[in-house]
Amino acid sequence: MFGRKKQNAKEEAVETVEVAEEASVDEEAPKAEEAPELSEPEAQARAWDDEFDREEGPFDIAEVDLEADEDDVTRLDLGSIIVTPFEGMTIQLQVNRDTNVVQSILVGDGESGLEVAAFAGPTKSSMIPEIREEIIKATAQQQGQIAVSQGPFGSELRRALPVKDPNGNAATHLSRTWMVSGPGWLLRGVLLGKATFEPENEDAQVALFEFFSNIVVRRGTAPVAPGSLLPMKVPEAEG
């Protein structure tokens, strides 16, 4: 869909290895604290995350060359993310009423929806395990149910939360959460609708899967604390 920029190996990587070897000579290195033992579900979730490769997206702005595209694809530039609409797609901007800042977008295909938000993240590590733990705890506090499963982007969270329908009757809100880490950012997608009710139905999620895969994240260079929302702007069409 667009050109990938070639990445050249940096010479500094070799120098770093050499310095590390020399530093271990006379002084006794402080003992590292033992990492807490992971539960079996968390270990499995991290294994699924490690297996996922962003080769097919979502992408960082530095990894693609949008100017090289010659297929007349129309894109929407929302600032922190650039998205590629699909036929029949609907889009809503989720705006913070107090700050008038676009926090996320909700796209739909008529039967399912996908809420997308981008956050700042660490440069060399992933916040996914930490966020997953927070979501699991929040679900328990709301007397909901949650399961960690293997999804198209590594692990995914499948939640069922008790809610009230418009008539005040008890109901259940179902969702699936995708999370992908990139260089200095984290992209989150929350699936709703038919793609959530029928998680094994590939046809029900293919349009939203491809949409999420084709997102390009523009993190920017301004210092932002990990976990902070990367605000969006009203989209502009790109030819």
Q: Is the pLDDT of residue 15 over 70?
A: no
pLDDT reported for residue 29: 53
User: Is residue 229 pLDDT above 60, yes or no?
Assistant: yes
Reported pTM: 0.83
pLDDT of residue 202: 93
CA distances from 101 to 35, 77, 93 (A): 39, 15, 10
Residue 21 has pLDDT above 50, yes or no: no
**CA 177/CA 104 separation, integer angstroms:** 14
Structure tokens at 30: 């402080």
pLDDT tens-place string over residues 131-155: 999 999 999 999 999 999 999 999 9
Q: Is the pLDDT of residue 204 over 90?
A: yes
Ramachandran quadrant class, 72 (left: phi over 0; alpha: psi -120 to 50; beta: rest): left
- Quote the pLDDT of residue 31: 56
pLDDT, one tens digit per residue, over 50-102 is 999 999 999 999 999 887 655 577 899 999 999 999 999 999 999 988 888 89
Domain residue limits, the chain: 40-238
